[in-house]
Structure 1
Amino acid sequence: MSKSRSAKWQRRLIQPPRAVIDIGSNTVRMVIYEGTARVPEVIWNEKVAARLGRDLSETGRIPDEAAQEALAALARYALIIGDLGVEDVQTVATAAARDAANGPEFLAAVAALGLEPRLLTGEEEATASAMGALGAFPGARGVVADLGGGSLELVSVADNQCHEAASLQLGTLRLPALREAGSDAFEAAVREQLTAVGWAAAHPGPMYMIGGTWRALAAYAMRYFDYPLTDPHGFTLLPDDAQRLAKELVGADPEKLMEISGISQMRAHYLPDAAALLRPLLDAIGPDELVFSSWGLREGLLYARLEPAQMKADPLLAGVTAYASPRDSSITDATLLAAWTVGLADGDGAVNERLRLAAAQLSGALQRVEPNLRVSHAIEWPLGKRWIDLDARGRAMICAALFGSMGRTDVPDKLRELASDDDLREGMTWGLGFRLARRLGGGSRVSLSTSALRRKKKSLVLRLDESRAALATYPATREFEMLADWLDLKPKIKIGSFDFSGFDEEEEEEEDE
């Protein structure tokens, strides 16, 4: 890469674009990513449903017309990545090319397009998918279940590593033939293959669900339970609920399923078969819960290349920084803001602190949005955007914080379905503190480093260096009084010469006298 191009990406504090071309049994897809190394952001995503593996059960070959459709798409992808100057490209092929008698011939045709296809073994495919789950859910411990067109990959994960792995011939394109023999014969065939992965039941924890058909199941469940969020990533189901839904879906009409947002025509036709597979799968593995992931093989390939230190980076904070920094809200300013308001934080220690820091940076970006757009952004950013390693409670608390940063103490009703009133009040308090910090002196580093906010038993104390005394007037005083009233405390402003690195014990005792 030339010096000029390298400098371009360094200035943007992100990696150069990289692409993953995934030649699967159902679809042939190209995804181009930008963003940070830890949290790649999709900037281009397209696929064709070539269904290369549709005849594997009958003929053992990739159909000629499917191969031609896939190669046409791949030729297009090769041109696009070349025209965009994407130099980091991984092209991988999975079950269809691996199992088909004419797979080598097909891959040779792919190579002739200038791509460099790598045929993944079943274990490599399983491991790549599992790495995607590890990247999306730090600390994941349990079993990853990646359902593709040609195979079902199962991998046990713990301590940020993959352990046992297996690839079973239970992909969505193979299931219809198995089901034709009847429900009892189908379950017997599935259980026979599952006996080879007895190790899975020995790994307590969730089952991480990867693949478009599983996400379609999540979309159905979210509709069924009237869930207030729209992104299936991170959505969870208890095993009993999953069994109940699977029982209903086994005989579902695909035409009706297509009416549900998030379920495409292709997935609607695969979903009843996947539901039939899920029932014995749940019995065999016995997970604590099901966790649905939008990260899988492609993201796993990128995550696996990171240095250990990069892997350990907090994906939420990395993602928020990548999103907010171009909107002139830096992590440095957010850290200073979070430190200035630390006296307002209450409970859950490190769990809430990362949420508070993320909320601080997003609140900075929100202030740079046109006022008439802020309310919609305050809802869409925390609740609608796909953040990594952020649960529903965290989304609701950040949303409450953004509302507080606008001086509002009312929140959307749906937040109460995601978090407790205490959690929402906590988030709101953070936001009101962020608002005060910005009202005080425009949120400047000078104003925050020459002032301090402390919450005491009976009072809320704002200390200002005498050089900043002029800041202690309207509208800053109004915001300070509103925050104190919200906390049911008495507002006190003290102006003088202070050591803002910390108060001594005598100063602490004086505050409530």
Structure 2
Amino acid sequence: MSSKRRRAERDGTFAGATPGRAIIDIGSNTVRMVVYGGTMRAPTVLLNEKVSARLGRDIATDGKLADEAIDLAMRGLKRFALLLDDLGVDDVETVATAAVREASNGSQFVKELKKLGFKPRIISGEEEACLSASGVAGAFPGATGTVADLGGGSLELVTIENGKPGQAVSLPLGTLRLPEYRGDSRSEMRKALEKALKKGAPQIEKGQPLYLVGGTLRTMAVYAMQEQGHPLSDPHGFMLEPDEAKSHIGKALAKESVESLKERDRISSMRAEKLPDASVLAEAMLSRFGPSCLIFSSWGLREGLLYDRLPDHAKAQDPLLAGVGVFATQRGSPQTLAARIAGWTVDAAPPQKHGTERLRLAATMLALASMQIEPNIRLPQAIDWALHKRWIAVSSKDRAMLAAAIAANGNALDLPDEVRELASEDALNEAMCWGLAVRLARRLGARSRRSLQVSRLLVADKTLVLRLAESHEALFGIPTEKDMKLLAGRLGVDWKVDIIPDDELLENELI
């Protein structure tokens, strides 16, 4: 089947997004395929499927990929090959990590992959570490510190400075190998792991962030969030101070059993089995590296593969705006419209002490997109976008401000408790002013470009002023008056409307 025909057949397969790239990651625990769409600076995951083949389970004992594990992996990979062909995804990158590179029968396994049409690349431990660092750099622009990527067969450690990977090593401390370090107690296991880290880890400067990558470590973040009663659900970007980590990871997990962990929401049976040992490793890294904090990253090797292929100008894009831009455009809020409205509202409701222009623009895009949601479900769904969707390069406070702006755009000024837990009243008030200004802008002239060209909004002499061309005086109706009062009240200023002859509306005042 031709690529053109496949593209035609797949139209509409993924709700407004076209599958563009796929990565197959053959690890020691799982074989995973992820299909991406949208902008590759902040890609949308269209399909994420894994097979828990546990290819590396026998490496430590007999140095081979187990026959049963190979059969499971190949069954999944045959399905992946068929799916990719039917979807018309031609850009496929296949990488294999610790299990395949260390197994005596790894080369034979690679030959079988090639028969399926894949072009597998076995990457070294150091390359794996650097790719994980690239993923972290893409998710946390300018990241500096250390990246620790815990897989089934190995632990990759790499220093990172201003987003650039430095010294990298791969240690045989993956989740499948951690049981070898168990002693009679957690403290004995921790000391053994500290010794292994001291022997093999790169020279790491203390007092810098430690970025944690890998499914088991993300599950650890989920556990810590549950222990904290954290209002957010996405572990990406979740941060723990060292004392918090010792409490929520060390002391709390020490009291858990595999059975009790399996009973928790969002902790799978496989992760429950790995989590106790991984928590001891985390304690050992805390002790050995002395980080300023732990930051959990959902971006790692696969996203590093995407990020490394981007041209420099694409890498320089803001990942929050790139991701929100695609998302909002698919929901009736093109970026050009959001930019016009953000420009129109900036003099009246600019970012101040708590916000930034990038965050205000993202809030504008999401607020406009939220108007496409049915009114009866709009507010909770739009707030969920802000709080729980995987946006990149935002803090918990940023998410709360996005939610406050979206809510105010819908004239919902009584914010949910989960929003108020994440930011101060001053920060939320600033964001609500953004949302009320967007509300005024879109309702003034039904989002028409002309309405923004014949008007201007600003604050002067402690008064919110709407300047409106005489030809469009009738745009100032009852809804607009209500919106002016709402915004002025939130800003704590008076308000007025100035009707200006069209020929006196200066060109430099036009948007």
* TM-score (normalised: structure 2): 0.93
Deviation at 1:390?
Answer: 1.3
The correspondence for 1:45, drawn from 41, 44, 48, is 48
- In the alignment, is residue 34 of structure 1 matched against residue 32 of structure 2? no
Distance 2:407 2:153 in 1: 46
Alignment of 1:69-108 (within 5 A): 69-108=72-111
Distance 2:270 2:385 in 1: 30
- In the alignment, is residue 242 of structure 1 matched against residue 248 of structure 2? no
Deviation at 1:260?
Answer: 2.3
2:308 alignment counterpart? 304
Which is further off, 89-98 or 349-358? 349-358
Deviation at 1:394?
Answer: 0.8
- In the alignment, is residue 231 of structure 1 matched against residue 237 of structure 2? no
Q: SS in structure 1 opposite 2:441?
A: helix
Partners of 2:152 and 2:176 within 8 A in 1: yes
2:275 alignment counterpart? 271
Partners of 1:451 and 1:462 within 8 A in 2: yes
The correspondence for 1:280, drawn from 277, 281, 284, is 284
The correspondence for 1:499, drawn from 462, 483, 505, is 505
Encode CA deviations 1:84-108: one digit per residue, 9 max, x unaligned.
1110001110000111122112222
2:136 alignment counterpart? 133
Alignment of 1:191-206 (within 5 A): 191-196=194-199, 199-202=202-205, 204-206=207-209
In structure 1, list runs of 5 or more residues that go unmatched.
504-513
Distance 2:42 2:24 in 1: 18
CA RMSD of aligned residues (A): 2.4
Distance 1:319 1:127, change over 3 A: same
Encode CA deviations 1:219-271: one digit per residue, 9 max, x unaligned.
11001000000111111111111122223324521121122222111001100
Query: What code does the residue aligned with 1:455 have?
Result: V
Q: SS in structure 2 opposite 1:138?
A: coil
Query: What code does the residue aligned with 1:345 have?
Result: A
Encode CA deviations 1:358-399: one digit per residue, 9 max, x unaligned.
111111111122211211222111011111111111110010
Q: Number of residue pairs matched?
A: 503
Distance 2:139 2:10 in 1: 24
Distance 1:492 1:183 in 2: 68
1:484 alignment counterpart? 488
- In the alignment, is residue 143 of structure 1 matched against residue 140 of structure 2? no
Distance 2:200 2:505 in 1: 63
Distance 2:190 2:477 in 1: 73
Encode CA deviations 1:297-326: one digit per residue, 9 max, x unaligned.
111111110001100101111111110112
Q: SS in structure 1 opposite 2:62?
A: coil
Distance 2:44 2:288 in 1: 35
Encode CA deviations 1:429-457: one digit per residue, 9 max, x unaligned.
11111111112111211101111111134
Deviation at 1:493?
Answer: 0.5
Encode CA deviations 1:187-225: one digit per residue, 9 max, x unaligned.
344233322455442264211110011011101100100
Distance 1:400 1:131 in 2: 32
Distance 1:22 1:303, change over 3 A: same
The correspondence for 1:390, drawn from 375, 378, 394, is 394
Query: What code does the residue aligned with 2:505 have?
Result: D
Deviation at 1:329?
Answer: 0.6
Alignment of 1:445-460 (within 5 A): 445-460=449-464
Distance 1:301 1:392 in 2: 27
Partners of 2:146 and 2:210 within 8 A in 1: yes
Encode CA deviations 1:270-292: one digit per residue, 9 max, x unaligned.
00000111111111111111111
- In the alignment, is residue 178 of structure 1 matched against residue 184 of structure 2? no
- In the alignment, is residue 361 of structure 1 matched against residue 373 of structure 2? no
Distance 2:420 2:412 in 1: 16
Distance 1:400 1:73 in 2: 43
- In the alignment, is residue 155 of structure 1 matched against residue 158 of structure 2? yes
Partners of 2:222 and 2:266 within 8 A in 1: yes
Encode CA deviations 1:55-77: one digit per residue, 9 max, x unaligned.
22221211111111111111111
Q: SS in structure 1 opposite 2:59?
A: coil
Q: SS in structure 2 opposite 1:390?
A: coil
Query: What code does the residue aligned with 1:228 have?
Result: P
The correspondence for 1:18, drawn from 18, 21, 33, is 21
**Identical aligned pairs, as a percentage?**
49
Distance 1:499 1:299, change over 3 A: same
1:376 alignment counterpart? 380
Partners of 1:150 and 1:172 within 8 A in 2: yes
Q: SS in structure 2 opposite 1:233?
A: coil
Distance 1:2 1:112 in 2: 20
Partners of 1:57 and 1:177 within 8 A in 2: no
Distance 1:456 1:233 in 2: 42
The correspondence for 1:116, drawn from 116, 119, 140, is 119
1:406 alignment counterpart? 410
Distance 2:462 2:436 in 1: 18
Distance 1:285 1:501 in 2: 59
Partners of 1:128 and 1:301 within 8 A in 2: yes
Partners of 2:169 and 2:202 within 8 A in 1: no
Which is further off, 285-294 or 350-359? 350-359
1:320 alignment counterpart? 324
Encode CA deviations 1:37-58: one digit per residue, 9 max, x unaligned.
2111111111111111112222
Query: What code does the residue aligned with 1:486 have?
Result: R
Distance 1:360 1:260 in 2: 37
Distance 2:338 2:10 in 1: 23
Partners of 1:142 and 1:206 within 8 A in 2: yes
Distance 2:72 2:7 in 1: 36
Query: What code does the residue aligned with 1:224 have?
Result: E
2:71 alignment counterpart? 68
* TM-score (normalised: structure 1): 0.93
Q: SS in structure 2 opposite 1:418?
A: coil
Deviation at 1:351?
Answer: 5.2
In structure 2, list runs of 5 or more residues that go unmatched.
none
Distance 1:77 1:57, change over 3 A: same
